[in-house]
Structure 1
């Protein structure tokens, strides 16, 4: 807008209106008397705060300074689940965690090398070690909550012998060295992958970055990633409840290369492009989902990424809070919340 205040003085049609916004600290909302729906539902006001520190959210709930926290860090989920003062709410999530492989760089340009990394990845172990069990091992670039997801896929069970054989076929039997860009909060994932891939001779250089630096590295163009020798990027993506196209097209379509899109590894597959275009123009849901099943198989076969896991949606409330719900993808809805 002309005055530059649209982000802090937004006008909408929902049950609440914003009354105060303090950058980096909180947003305060109160009931909008002109709301077209049920004016009696929900609290009189809602204060949204945020923190980059997982422990801060956990302590805020424990101290009664917050009534709801979202998302619950997996390392604190078990403690909250076992505490009778709180309710931990868990549901299948839409977030897919994966490692985008730079298909422009050798030897990652060889599909056999990319497949080898997948066979060397213990997804069940990752879920236990990193997510405390609050996730599902990924078998597809689509999350289970997304229409068209194929639960029967099992493309890369842990198989170190198969991984080593593929590296030998690709001419790198003794392994190779590659780097991965990770954000600070995901450092542990990078370190676990480093240990896993070392078993097949792959030396993984984990480059830990703060958020802004990571974004620049992750969304660098082909020349930028080549100059920095960035072999991989640890990332996640969620299309929420918005369908398979918004999960697959940004990440795997040939015209979605970074920095304009989120195809971080510059993967290009005309066969897949054709599938995605055909699915997007197919009105019949069953026919469209059948195309997406084939698309999942094609992506898995070409292995432009190492699939890791689907993070469960987790939020916690005090026992005195009811009426909070969650939309797949992690968005909580509090318009009907009640505090006893």
Structure 2
């Protein structure tokens, strides 16, 4: 049976089962997620269904409550933000706001909203909905709304909170007042986590329930979620942009192994696959039925060192870890030319990158000297956490961990590799439970603030700063850079910040990768966005 025929059969079977279930008990809920209708009810046929194979499942589908790319990959197509990035860059474009204006002092932002937009539950989108969402986030907590805390300096009761007020000045106009200028404010608003959700749905459901039954204004609406298997979204017929989306349905299929995902693509079981091993790129390019996509590099893969845990509370130990690890060998072995060795916490494509920094060379003898100075000349035992899923910034966390383990052994450090299921891994690492952990970051908005402040500032301990690293001098520099509107001055501040981070060494930066995807040769208008969250409303099959 061909892939398309097989999909059609599965869709018919799904409809039959759904009708039987509804007739027997309309109130019965599914632990696999809700959603109205099915692919066939929406008029879908197999030719208009995109099956997107990915390395892991989502954590949740409420964009404000997640930080992982597998969740935002889906929510990007269910929710929309006030302003949007360009199709292939991080320039600011109209979104749910048709127009915006900024006051001369940079403290007031006024947004005129799009007319005729509705949420997937039929409720109208308006200024009151925007205010509701921002009030929900501003009155939240760090264990729920990580991104809000990271991008806007905390919550409403926190001294560093940037937003003073959000007001609906009329039905379709929203005014933001800031306590101080924030240079990346518009870019922050364009980030996927700040997708506007239906107030009615939020009121009717708990946060956890909404995370499994999301309701936004995006081109696609949620249908079903089978954990560790698939998420199905379908065309929203009342979408406000005429003629979009072009697909009737998208199925996000979880296939953890990179090689298995490529095989599924080659056999026609899926149409698009991310996490293609660099070593397989030539095989894709040689196949006339496939095409290769390169995602612009805007990421970093790193080994985080939890600075509140012994012996990593000693900067000399952290510096020794940096000298002990052969970054170039890791890049050569596992990225095969599709990455550059990292020396800073952000990639060179970001404005403010400090190229004068030399970084840490691979120098096992220097590592041993520093360990001796720290009173650990005989080495020590530690846990090294390896990611259980491939990510754009690290194709194979287990193999990278094994290479690091071997490097550390050469300087007397005994590293035991441990791992957990992806959601648990993130939860435990963010709670500071790891000695050292492999992780990474794909930039959300193309600004240095999104790397340095979000990942390494003391404001974000417990959210995106998994290392629990804090430095008051660094904090003051990063807040000053946020508030500075002169680009040259901002860049100089960020260069100084990278020098502090280099000396304190809370990370071992490993690589800035160029992630690879592959797709069916008939797949048209797919654009791999540098943020890692791809909008699929323009995609179709020729």
TM bucket normalised to smaller = 0.7 to 0.9
Task: After superposing the two structures, state which structure 1 stretch, 282-291 or 208-217, moved more.
Answer: 208-217
- Find out whether 1:263 has 2:465 as its counterpart: yes
Give the aligned partner of residue 138 of structure 2: none
User: What residue in structure 2 maps to residue 110 of structure 1?
Assistant: 314
The answer to whether 1:53 aligns with 2:256 is yes
CA offset at residue 66 of structure 1? Answer: 2.4
* Structure with higher RCO (Cα < 8 A, 6+ apart): 1
Pair 307,60 (structure 1): closer, same or farther in 2 beyond 3 Å: same
Q: Match of 1:57, SS?
A: helix
1:273 aligned to which of 457, 475, 488 = 475
Tell me the alpha carbon deviations over residues 263-304 of structure 1, each in whole angstroms, 9 at most, x when there is no partner: 222211111111111111111122112211111121111101
Match of 2:429 in 1: 218
**Residues 290/43 of structure 1: CA separation in 2 closer, same or farther (3 Å cut):** same
Does the aligned pair in 1 maintain the 2:296–2:528 contact within 8 Å? Answer: no
1:29 equivalent in structure 2: 234
Residues 58, 262 of structure 1: alpha-carbon distance in 2 compared, 3 angstrom cutoff: same
Stretch deviating more after TM superposition (126-135 or 194-203): 126-135
Measure how far apart 1:34 and its partner are.
Answer: 4.8
- The corresponding residue for 2:518 is 316
What RMSD, in angstroms, separates the aligned Cα atoms of the two structures? Answer: 2.4
C-alpha contact 1:67 1:318 (8 A) present in aligned 2: yes
Mean CA deviation greater in 143-152 or 315-324: 143-152
CA deviations 1:295-318 (Å, max 9, x no partner) are 112111110111111232322122
Q: CA deviation at 1:220?
A: 2.2
CA distance in 1 between partners of 2:471 and 2:222 (Å): 49
Q: Is 1:88–1:316's contact at 8 Å kept on the other side of the alignment?
A: yes
Question: What secondary structure is seen at the aligned counterpart in 2 of 1:237?
Answer: strand
SS at match of 2:475: helix
Corresponding residue number in structure 2 for 1:204: 415
Which residue does 1:328 correspond to in 2?
530
- The match for 2:440 is 236
Aligned-partner Cα distance in 2 for 1:213–1:19? 24
Which ranges of structure 2 fall in alignment gaps of 5 or more residues? Answer: 1-201, 390-396
Structure 1: distance between partners of 2:239 and 2:427? 43
* Cα pair distance change 1:220/1:6, threshold 3 Å: closer
Counterparts of 1:157-196 in structure 2 under 5 Å? Answer: 157-185=361-389, 186-196=397-407
CA distance in 2, matches of 1:197, 1:158: 12
Q: Indicate the residue corresponding to 1:2 in structure 2.
A: 203
Question: What TM-score, normalized by structure 2, do the two folds share?
Answer: 0.56
Question: Are 2:524 and 2:540, in contact at CA under 8 Å, matched by a contact in 1?
Answer: yes
CA-CA distance at 1:337 after TM superposition: 2.6
* SS state at 1:50 partner: strand
Q: Is the 8 A contact 2:344 2:502 kept in 1?
A: yes
Please state whether the residue corresponding to 1:187 is helix, strand or coil. helix
How far, CA to CA, are the matches of 1:110 and 1:6 in structure 2?
42
| Structure 1 residues 206 and 288: CA distance shift in structure 2, 3 A | same
1:100 and 2:304 are equivalent in the alignment: yes
Q: Which residue of 2 aligns with 1:17?
A: 220
3-state DSSP of counterpart to 2:369: helix
Q: CA deviation at 1:169?
A: 2.5
CA pair 209-75 structure 1, distance change in 2 beyond 3 A: farther
2:489 to 287, 302, 305: 287
Q: Distance in 2 between matches of 1:17 and 1:160?
A: 52
* SS of aligned partner of 1:108: coil
Give the structure 1 partner of residue 113 of structure 2: none
Q: Residues 253 and 273 of structure 1 are in contact (CA less than 8 Å); yes or no, is this contact kept in structure 2? A: yes
- 271 and 324 in structure 1: CA distance in 2 versus 1, 3 angstrom threshold: same
- Contact conserved, 2:345 with 2:452, CA < 8 A, in 1? yes
Q: Deviations over 1:222-244 (max 9, x none)?
A: xxx3xxxx421221122322422
Structure 1 residues 130-141: aligned runs within 5 Å: 130-141=334-345
Aligned residues: 327
Distance 1:276 1:59, change over 3 A: same
Distance 2:349 2:226 in 1: 33
Counterparts in 2 of 1:160 and 1:81: CA distance versus 1, 3 Å: farther
CA contact (8 A) 1:61 1:318 kept: yes
1:208–1:36 Cα change, 3 Å: closer
